[in-house]
Amino acid sequence: MARDVSLEAVDKSYFYWRGGISVVLGLLILVWPGLTVLTLVTLISIWLLLMGIMSLVQGVRKVKEGGWGWLASCLLGILELGIGTYLIQRPGLTTLTIITLIGLVFFIQGFVYLINTFAARGVSGGRRAVTLLFSILSFIAGVWLWRYPFHGTLAFVWLLGLYMMIAGGLTVAMASQLDD
């Protein structure tokens, strides 16, 4: 017989997993900062190369259909291959771009959590306080990365690791505030 699982129980489990994984990844980032940056830059560059190949293959396969779709796919593939190749050759630029984009994500994440803090009804004071703290942390991390992207990749990696550990802990704390 299937067990009846409430949405709150699923959400609580989700938050525990998300928080726990964030803490572990944050710790790994702090232990291996150089490897973290190199891996991130390399994976994004390889991803672009693979997407370029896939777009080209898709474009060539669409030639028989006619129209302009095949040409758009081929042009996208060439663009992705070109950018992927360029980024592999210039990991410093890739790193700066990634740092800036992650700062943007942190900033937007903080904004979304801030809205959710005050928009949600029936939320306990403890959960609201933890969510507010999480949004403030996201804002600070995002603004700091926008303001100081050149001041060392190591500082960025440490900030990312600390952010993930703190945000993961706060996510677990939010899960503990959910009703069973």
| Cβ(29)–Cβ(157) below 8 Å | yes
Q: CB count, 10 Å around CB of 49? A: 18
32: left (phi over 0), alpha (psi -120 to 50) or beta: beta
Any domain includes 40: yes
Q: Which two tokens stand for residue 77?
A: 């593939």
| Cβ(139)–Cβ(81) below 8 Å | no
- Is 146 buried (19+), middle (13-18) or exposed (0-12) by CB count in 10 A? middle
- In angstroms, the CA 28 to CA 36 distance is 8
Any domain includes 47: yes
Model pLDDT for residues 95-142, shown as the tens digit of each residue: 788 778 777 888 888 888 888 777 767 767 787 888 888 889 888 888
Any domain includes 9: no
Any domain includes 109: yes
Percent helix, strand and coil across the chain, each to the nearest 5: 85, 0, 15
- In angstroms, the CA 76 to CA 19 distance is 37
The single residue listed with the structure tokens 């190369």 is 49
* Whole-number pLDDT of residue 7: 45
Q: Which domain holds residue 99?
A: 15-177
Any domain includes 4: no
Model pLDDT for residues 49-99, shown as the tens digit of each residue: 999 999 999 889 888 887 778 888 899 999 989 888 888 888 877 778 877
Any domain includes 131: yes
120: left (phi over 0), alpha (psi -120 to 50) or beta: beta
Any domain includes 6: no
Q: Quick check: pTM over 0.75?
A: no
Please tell me the total count of domains within the chain: 1
Q: Which two tokens stand for residue 21?
A: 């994984």
Any domain includes 48: yes
